[in-house]
Amino acid sequence: MVKDRTQVAIIGAGPSGLLLGHLLHRAGVETVILERHTRAYVEARIRAGVLEQGTVDLLDEIGLGGRMRREGLPHKGVNLAFDGARHRIDLFGLTGGKKVMVYGQTELTKDLGDARDASGAPIVYEAEDVSIHGADGESPFLRYKKDGEERTLACDFIAACDGGHGVGRRSMPTSVIRTFERVYPFGWLGILADVPPCADELIYARHERGFALASMRSHVRSRYYVQCAIDERLENWPDERIWDELKIRLGPEAAARMTMGPSIEKSVAPLRSFVAEPLRWGRLFLAGDAGHIVPPTGAKGLNLAVSDVRILARALTAACQKGDPSLIDRYSQDCLARVWKAVRFSWWMTQLMHKFGEGESFETRVQQAELSYLFSSRAAQQALAENYVGLPFADA
């Protein structure tokens, strides 16, 4: 059996694990990242594409914002479509100059992977059967297989950045963890196509046939979604049907500018809100989707992971470099304060823009009243804008 040691063992080479590794490397803390898939697989996953102002600032601060600045699309506003009309929320004007950046998570993961390679810090792809041991004691370690060989990685701390189905959260005893969940009765059918976007900024549309979203990844690649049944089958949605539905739900202005083309990716994603508390057990820490999941309506998932990692990097640096455990003791509290605010916003956006049930209902009337108020109130628009561009990162 091969035995290794490091200060911080990180499980998962998605953006949260790679970013944590980069921040700790910059601070002089040793890390090893274990990832069960290949690098090509990780970088090919289609995920989020809207970065908050705080995420953009952090990437600039650590020297990883160059390609994002060259290829990303800064957005100073966002559109809500309702009852045949489109209303623009002026993010820039309502927040004192803040905005969001449209830059695909796939591209960010590539940037972070390149930075890891350049640093020379170790990363193990195709690490199989990772298991966590001794997290509640003084000497935690991981076991895994690589190329059929048993290996052990001893460490001081373990960071689980391995998503909602990873080993991190599963390793926490049920007696110490509490979960909160809201499962929504619909999903999003997403389509990715190499066609120009139908608008310069995102469009969130509430329609009697269901929600729709017009997004983009670049000037020549578009990402669209329509609300669908949670058990919808992709074979029932040929490209032509999706484009026709998008034109109806997004409205005539978007339809007139829409360029149709063959899909290069199509999928159905369920929507749910999920939070685990606490995000720490002994020397094991959960970050990103390992600890919480939000519906994509508010564009918060990746940004919450960045916030967690920023807090965790500072806490682990203080513990490893100075022997100071105070920030570690606050980690869960500091993260969850921001997490729950983002969960609330994502839940609110989901409740506001989606169709619940058939026909007119109490909920339908409340949605209509809420949207009418939103479009007539600067204060309401400012609250939306502040949350959308991202609430301030917690001090750590």
Rounded-to-integer distance, Cα 73 and Cα 49, Å: 10
Q: Please name the amino acid found at residue 10.
A: I
The β-bridge partners of 273 are: 182
DSSP string for 161-194: -S-TTSHHHHTS-TTT-EEEEEEEEEEEEEEEES
Rounded-to-integer distance, Cα 14 and Cα 301, Å: 13
Rounded-to-integer distance, Cα 230 and Cα 49, Å: 23
For residue 178, the tally of other CB atoms under 10 A from its CB is 10
Options 22, 207, 292, 300, the catalytic residue = 300
DSSP string for 190-211: EEEESS--SSSS-EEEE-TT--
Residue 388 among the catalytic residues: yes
Which regions of 194-340 does DSSP assign to beta strands (E)?
Answer: 203-206, 212-216, 222-228, 263-277, 280-281, 284-286, 292-293
Residue 169, phi-psi category: left (phi > 0), alpha (psi -120 to 50), beta (remainder) = alpha
For helices 326-353 and 362-376, angle between their N-to-C axes, nearest 10 degrees: 110
Q: Please name the amino acid found at residue 264.
A: I
Options 76, 296, 331, 354, the catalytic residue = 296
As given in the structure block, the two tokens for residue 17 are 């694990």
| Three-class DSSP category at 335 | helix
For residue 326, the tally of other CB atoms under 10 A from its CB is 10
Options 15, 22, 75, 98, the catalytic residue = 75
Options 204, 224, 225, 331, the catalytic residue = 204
Name the burial class of residue 15, with classes exposed (0-12), middle (13-18) and buried (19+) by CB atoms within 10 angstroms of its CB.
buried
Phi, psi of 336 (to 5 degrees): -65, -25
CB within 8 Å of 246: residues ≥ 6 apart: 212, 214, 224, 226, 254, 255, 258
Taking the CA atoms of 145, 147, 148 and 149 in sequence, report the sign of the dihedral they define. Answer: negative
> Which positions are annotated as active-site residues?
75, 204, 296, 300, 388
